[in-house]
Amino acid sequence: MTATTIEHDAMRRALDIARNGPRGINPQVGAVLLSPDGNIIAEGWHRGAGTPHAEVDALSHLPADAARGATAVVTLEPCNHTGRTGPCSEALLEAGVTRVVYAVADPNPRSAGGAERLRTAGVEVEQGVRRAEAADLLESWFAVQRLGRPHVTVKWAQSLDGRGAADDGTSQWITGPEARADVHRRRGRADAIVVGTGTVRADDPSLTAREEDGTLRPHQPIPVVLGRSEVSKDAALRRHPEPFLQYDGDLDAALADLRERGVHRVFVEGGPTVASAFLRAGLVDEILVYLAPVLLGGSRLALTDLGVPSIDAARRLDVVRIERLGDDLLIVARPNAPHPDEGEGS
């Protein structure tokens, strides 16, 4: 049995409410419970580590036996392991759910297997509904599961001729207010923001995420500085709501420590040296290029050496989308590499 129109609509709703959950080590997951006649009887989402998973959250809103014969529509395959909470597959079975529709498979071997457990118990299971939308929502979480490190986004702004600054070193502002506002929105969704000591000395950035009126956004990324040079005692980032962290140039060690601290999404805003170091090391999952319609000339390129000796070794990218932001363009790209295959959509 393929997914119905009602189930597709319910999955869209589940994806919407999944975004209510915090980004972090755990995925953002939403669940919608449908009665046998197709009406929504409960909704739930995962609110963070140690809290009930989306399916259990939805079930908690119903009286006993109210879910018997229901369909559970979930953005991620129900888990099948006991951690801080019990297996969602068992909770659905105990509640009497007879059909489960999910968008993407769980790539974590510790928690995967819920779909098979449900099938074995006689529950109808349909996978792949709105898979692309769910995969986009969980793209960074998938990267963490696959790579064992935080998801890394590298951002830079450049002129049309590829310069990150004028010859005198000034770079504020290459792009316009719309592009800068977009950067702050993205900072507000990150867990950590990374720059090098050179940027700290040259620009004295605050590394905060701000609203368009200049006030601080509710969520602030942890400021991270790469490099051995001491950060000045009057540096702006010392007034950041979160204490800054500093690492030497070992990117792998820095990312490993950040993951241990619960950092899930890293936003790299350093200058050409830091951006190029992440790219050269193959530690970049997403690239944001803010392209301004200006010409600067000179030698201050937006990137430095990437370890590309010839065109055959060029770092190929997949362009995900291009957005117009005022007079500027935002190009969103990812390294040309396969992504997890969670199955075909219905």
Q: Which residues are catalytic?
A: 55
Tokens found for residue 139: 């793209």
Q: Give the C-alpha separation, 121 to 137, whole Å.
A: 30
Query: Are the beta carbons of 271 and 155 closer than 8 angstroms?
Result: no
The percent helix, strand, coil of the chain (3-state, each to 5) is: 25, 25, 50
Residues contacting residue 313 through CB under 8 Å, at least 6 positions apart: 307
Closest CA to 335 of 290, 284, 289: 284
Q: Give the C-alpha separation, 42 to 32, whole Å.
A: 6
Query: Are the beta carbons of 33 and 11 closer than 8 angstroms?
Result: no
User: Strand, helix or coil at 128?
Assistant: coil
Tokens found for residue 328: 């500027």
Order the strands of the 99-104 sheet from edge to edge. 40-45, 30-34, 71-76, 99-104, 124-127
Closest CA to 69 of 142, 123, 110: 123
How many CA atoms within 13 Å lie on the side-chain side of 236?
10
Query: Are the beta carbons of 198 and 223 closer than 8 angstroms?
Result: no
Residues contacting residue 166 through CB under 8 Å, at least 6 positions apart: 296, 298, 300
Q: Give the C-alpha separation, 344 to 232, whole Å.
A: 53
User: What is the helix (H) or strand (E) element at residue 65, kind and residue range?
Assistant: none
